C-alpha cells in the first residue's frame, strides 16, 4: 500500500468534500495517512481526524512560522496529544528563513524545544526547512549526532539499522547534504510532487543518489501537486505519479517503490501492520 507521510487534510481547503475524498483513498491503494499539525488551532483538528478515521495518524507540533505561539498553554496541549497512541510524530517543526515570520533565534530555540518533546515521548520528528540549510543541519547534528541528547538516551544504533529519528519533509537541499542526513544522521527524506516538476532537477538527482530505504512518500496536500495536476489542489490520490517518477529515476518498478517506502513509513512512525 501507499502511505502518505505528510498531509494536511484538516485544512479548510478540504472542507467541501473531506469525507468523500478520504473514503476514496483506500480503494485507490492509499492505506494510511499522517496528518500534520502546523498552527496552534490545527492541533485539535488533526487529532479529531485521527480519532475519526482508523487509517489516519497525527503529527503534533508547531511550524516555525507559528512558534511565537509556543507558550505554556500550547506546550501543555502538545504534551497531552503526544501521549495519545494515534500521535506518531512531533511535527512539523524546524526553520523557515523564506518567510521570516518569527525571529531566527526564536525559531532555533523552539525547534530544539520541540525536539526535546520528541525525545521525551519517544517520537520521531517531521522537519520543515526552507532556505535554512546551514542552521537546520547544525541543529539536527547537535540534537541527533554523535554525543547528542538522542545518542545519550538511545545509545549508538547497530550497524545497518536506521534509527527512528525523523524525516526531512519536502527535501530541497543538495545531494551532499542528503547523504549527511541519511547516512550520517539516520534521517529519511520526504519526496512529493516536486520530483515530477521540470525544474525539480536537484531533487531528481537526490532521488537517484539516495538509497530507497531512506525515502518516504508524501504529498503536503493541499499543496505541491505533481505533474500533470500542478497548480490544483493536491491529495494522496496523486501519489502514484510520484511513485512512477521515483521508479523511473531509480530504474526499478513502481511496485518496489511502494513496497520499500511502506516499510520505511511503518518502521519510522511505528505504524501497525494490520
Task: Give tens-digit pLDDT for 218-268.
Answer: 999 999 999 999 999 999 999 999 999 999 999 999 999 999 999 999 999
Please give the average per-residue pLDDT across 172-177, as a whole number.
97
Domain locations in the chain? 2-269
- CA atoms of 62 and 96, how far apart (whole Å): 12
Dihedrals φ, ψ of 158, to 5°? -55, 150
Q: Are the beta carbons of 226 and 193 closer than 8 angstroms?
A: yes
| Nearest CA-CA partner of 70 in 45, 94, 50 | 94
pLDDT greater than 80 at residue 68: yes
In terms of CATH architecture, what is 2-269?
Alpha-Beta Barrel (3.20)
| Nearest CA-CA partner of 242 in 186, 195, 187, 274 | 195
pLDDT greater than 80 at residue 37: yes
- CA atoms of 93 and 132, how far apart (whole Å): 13
Supply angle C-alpha 54, 58, 61, rounded to 5: 165
Percentage above 70 pLDDT, the chain: 99
Reading the block at residue 145, the C-alpha cell is 549526532
Percentage above 90 pLDDT, the chain: 96
Task: Give tens-digit pLDDT for 115-162.
Answer: 999 999 999 999 999 999 999 999 999 999 999 999 999 988 776 678
Q: Are the beta carbons of 36 and 7 closer than 8 angstroms?
A: yes
Amino acid at each position: 500500500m501507499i502511505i502518505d507521510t505528510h498531509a494536511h487534510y484538516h485544512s479548510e481547503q478540504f472542507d467541501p468534500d473531506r469525507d468523500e475524498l478520504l473514503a476514496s483513498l483506500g480503494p485507490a491503494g492509499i492505506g494510511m495517512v499522517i496528518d500534520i499539525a502546523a498552527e496552534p488551532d490545527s492541533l485539535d483538528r488533526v487529532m479529531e481526524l485521527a480519532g475519526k478515521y482508523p487509517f489516519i495518524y497525527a503529527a503534533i507540533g508547531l511550524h516555525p512560522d507559528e512558534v511565537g505561539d509556543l507558550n505554556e498553554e500550547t506546550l501543555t496541549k502538545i504534551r497531552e496529544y503526544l501521549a495519545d497512541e494515534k500521535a506518531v510524530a512531533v511535527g512539523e517543526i524546524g526553520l523557515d528563513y523564506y518567510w521570516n515570520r518569527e525571529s531566527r533565534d526564536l525559531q532555533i530555540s523552539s525547534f530544539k524545544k520541540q525536539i526535546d518533546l520528541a525525545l521525551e515521548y519517544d517520537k520521531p520528528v517531521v522537519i520543515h526547512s526552507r532556505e535554512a540549510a546551514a542552521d537546520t543541519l547544525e541543529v539536527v547534528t547537535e540534537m541527533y549526532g554523535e554525543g547528542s541528547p538522542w545518542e545519550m538516551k538511545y545509545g549508538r544504533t547497530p550497524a545497518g539499522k536506521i534509527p527512528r529519528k525523523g524525516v526531512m519533509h519536502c527535501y530541497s537541499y543538495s545531494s551532499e547534504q542528503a547523504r549527511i542526513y541519511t547516512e550520517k544522521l539516520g534521517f529519511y527524506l520526504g519526496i512529493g510532487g516536486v520530483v515530477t516538476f521540470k525544474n525539480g532537477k536537484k531533487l531528481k538527482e537526490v532521488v537517484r543518489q539516495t538509497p530507497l530505504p531512506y525515502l518516504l512518500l508524501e504529498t503536503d496536500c493541499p499543496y505541491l501537486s505533481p505533474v500533470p495536476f500542478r497548480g490544483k489542489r493536491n491529495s494522496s490520490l496523486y501519489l502514484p505519479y510520484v511513485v512512477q517518477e521515483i521508479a523511473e529515476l531509480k530504474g526499478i518498478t513502481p511496485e518496489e517503490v511502494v513496497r520499500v517506502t511502506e516499510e520505511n513509513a511503518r518502521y519510522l512512525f511505528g505504524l501497525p501492520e494490520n
